[in-house]
């Protein structure tokens, strides 16, 4: 079953970057790729990265940060009044 996230949420702009990865620390465990329900992480040429437009799709669950055993992912919640707002559910 696919969840239609667009009809359940709205996004308030101005979040700035709130997720980043330090590829020097990343051990390529790909846990972030597996855990992300929005499929925002990719691996190419041996490097893990988050897609460029992640701010418009991320549900700010911090799962990627939680499962990163190497401590390579940096996550901070967007500033108050910005980011995702769950309207239903």
Query: What domains are there in the chain, each with its CATH number?
Result: 5-86 (3.30.70.20)
Whether 58 and 19 have beta carbons less than 8 Å apart is answered as yes
pTM of this structure: 0.81
For residue 9, give the 3-state DSSP assignment: strand
State the sign of the Cα–Cα–Cα–Cα dihedral 24, 29, 34, 71: negative
Residue 23 has pLDDT above 60, yes or no: yes
- Round the CA-based radius of gyration of the chain to a whole number and report it: 13
Write down the mean pLDDT value for the chain: 88
45-58 pLDDT tens trace: 999 999 999 998 89
Predicted confidence band of residue 85 (pLDDT cuts 50, 70, 90): confident
Write down the pLDDT at residue 86.
75
């Amino acid at each position: 079953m696919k969840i239609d996230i667009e009809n359940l949420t709205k996004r308030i702009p101005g979040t700035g970057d709130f997720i980043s990865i330090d590829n020097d620390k990343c051990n390529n465990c790909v846990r972030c790729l597996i855990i992300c329900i929005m499929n925002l992480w990719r691996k190419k040429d041996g490097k893990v990265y988050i897609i460029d437009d992640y701010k418009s799709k991320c549900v700010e669950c911090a799962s990627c940060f939680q499962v990163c055993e190497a401590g390579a992912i940096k996550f901070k919640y967007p500033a108050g009044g910005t980011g995702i707002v769950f309207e239903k559910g």
